[in-house]
Structure 1
Amino acid sequence: MKEKAVNFKNAFRDSDWRVKLSAVLMGAGQFLYGCRIKGILFLLVEVGMIYYVAARGIGDLIGFFTLGTQKADPWLGVAGDNSVIMLLMGIFAWIVLFSFFYLYRLNLKDAYRIQKQVEQGKKPDTFKKEIIRLFDRKFYVFVLALPVIGVCIFNVLPIIFMILIAFTNYGGSVVPPELVDWIGLGNFKKLIVLSKFAPTFFKILGWNLLWAVTSTALNYFAGLGLALLLNKKCVKGKAFWRAFPVLAYAVPGFITLLAFKFMFSYGGPINQLIVGAGGSAVGFLDIDAKWSARLIGLLVNCWISVPSIMLLATGHLSNFDETLYEAARIDGAGRFARFRKLTLPFMLFATMPVLLSQFIGNFNNFGIFYFLRGGLYMDGYFLASDTDLLINWLYNLSIDNNYYSIGAAISLIIFLITSAISLVVYIKSPSYREEDTFQ
């Protein structure tokens, strides 16, 4: 990075008039040094940028800040401004602007590079030679150019749009043709202070953190324990016992969830067995079944996730040095001590990135309680139930009830929480601090 910055400064400080002319007219330096095709291409980029800015670029940038000034009126035939479209096109205008600045900087550096070649008595590379070099030394640039553009349009643009929506009042009654406005941190203040949102937010946040930690730990240790059990020499039919959990993993998750919902319903087989034994039907997933519904969610998630952890742990355990166990036995270490001092550190070292991805997946596990108990709105909760996670509440708010800006604020909070926890845990883990421990 330092070398590139120096070259860019040198393009102004040590360059001749041809390169300085490129600062005003892109491609002029290349054209005057004989690289005419390249110079024309840079010039076309500048002409295209000028046309875009004049045609709509300035309007899109202004619209990004104002989000519209004219409200639509169908009775009077006034089209008005669509704030959402203006925000989206404003983001696109910023992306185009930054892309142009990158090409502008590349234009100056390239012109300065050609100047140095000429000063050294070398002939500037022809356009054909530049293309050959692009396919040879910088083939990755050519291959990744279109995918990067696609990622910017179809991934980066929607993400930025979602983040910015969190700082507007978009949603509820404020939807086009109504004009949307910037409100800064207003939505975050509503989640923390406003009596309609705050109690529900903190209740769901606390349960979400408990759910993510508990389900991740349960899935991980259950999968690791199953892998250790199947690695025992005394276990017969290992191939069958390893294949059996994978069958549950192979079934689509939503089908498994719907099957468990039926099993624990009033008319399901579990209640039929209870009634047949002389008991009364139990509302495992009923509206007042708080902890039983949460426990069922944990067990169902375990049923779905344990097979993948088991397969992962089985692969890593096959690479473990068995002589360490023998040495520990000679030193008098028991089974639990060997697990705590040898197996667990090795597995955490090898699987910490996967464990963090499991945590993020569980934190944002939309399907578990949506299919088991979705659609319940309970007293003490605003558009949510006592088993909903933040991602479920976000869905209820934004998709079902048009609280788009509040939903965007929640999604941003989810991102900050998961990224902060993942980053801190990973930095503190042996996978990061003791990289060469098991090498």
Structure 2
Amino acid sequence: MDKHSIETVFNKYLHPIDEGILIKMAELFELDKYVKKLSVVPFVKLFTYAQLKQISSLTDISFELNKDPQLRKEIGLDSISKSQLSRKLRDISPKIFDALLRHSIQKVRQKYGLRKGNQKLRKLHLIDSSTITLSLKEHPWAPKNRYTSGIKLHTRVVFYDDVTYLDDLIITPARPADITQLDPLLVKVHGTFHVFDRGYFDFKIFEKLCSKGIRFATRIKDNTVIQVVEEVPVPESSSVLREAIVFLGKMRHPLRLIETVDSEGNQIQIIVNDARIPAEEVSAIYRDRWKIELFYKWMKQHMVVKTMYGKSPNAVYNQVYIAMIAFCLTLLLQDDLFYKGTLLVLKKHLAKFALARYLEFKKELFKPPSRTSEGKKSYDYEQEFKEILKDVEEGRFKE
């Protein structure tokens, strides 16, 4: 955070978080007014470190800090107990971490979102939700059904230039339907392109998007009333089975209906309100919607969001916000390093060398392979899509 003393990997990792802004936030919400030991700055540092290292319990976080003098110096704490961590996590308002996440997202947008800004077609805003199931006994404030509770992450990510980055997040208890959070997740700028699934199917919203020139693509529901205006000829060589101009329900704006098949050979129907995109491109764009499922999978596997540190709403929400902040920080460092490897490999190196000198970390990260490679292998996107589709259909990403 202190730009004059960036020496360790972890210090460099935290650099995008402006410590002055964080302190002002703490003053605004009076978070440190009666605090003698664990103020907001070391709190953020410690829990970000826990996300980076995937430390899954408050007991282990406390142990890690208390046994390591270098970590204590890095964080700015002499010692800490599990109960102190628990109280702070419970008492601190999630508003500060919501604001800090949006500050981090803005920095990511500046890094990734402004590149080739005139090429809007392939800059996709993907909207979806994912549920994290919790114990009903420990989290009765967020009932999901008679047996479990949970929280729902309503998310917008941007997929652009082969990079997926978080663009907005709303956390709610599990029960509210996805459609209730669609409006605040939409980017209401002419020309933007949204892709979402059938959980956000709403004629009134579609009408508003059409009238404002905001593009979208989604699948239709099986019982949707369709009025065909015109059948559009499709080349025999095309992967598209059918294209038509249609009206849905009582909508006033016409839409394009495109029928194609997914990777399993199942026929799907996609509607889109952009008249210029080739039908095969629409099919490819809808397939890119699965990038948001990859994002959820990555977060649940490589950050601490499935095992909760605390039981209160504040504790749960704060943990998820800090996990998302850590994801943004990892993306920002990847860009600073011009690192072309995967985000997971970078995170593993960060976890291993967190308290090492930054120059040593860079040397290790970019060290040539010790044995000769067999050559660059092409990435099997079709296989990736099949695996993600199977996982989603079996419900493994929604829980």
TM-score range with shorter-chain normalisation? under 0.3
Q: TM-score, normalised by structure 2?
A: 0.23
Q: TM-score, normalised by structure 1?
A: 0.22
More helix by share: 1
Which one scores higher on RCO, CA 8 angstroms, separation ≥ 6?
2
Q: Which structure has the larger Rg?
A: 1
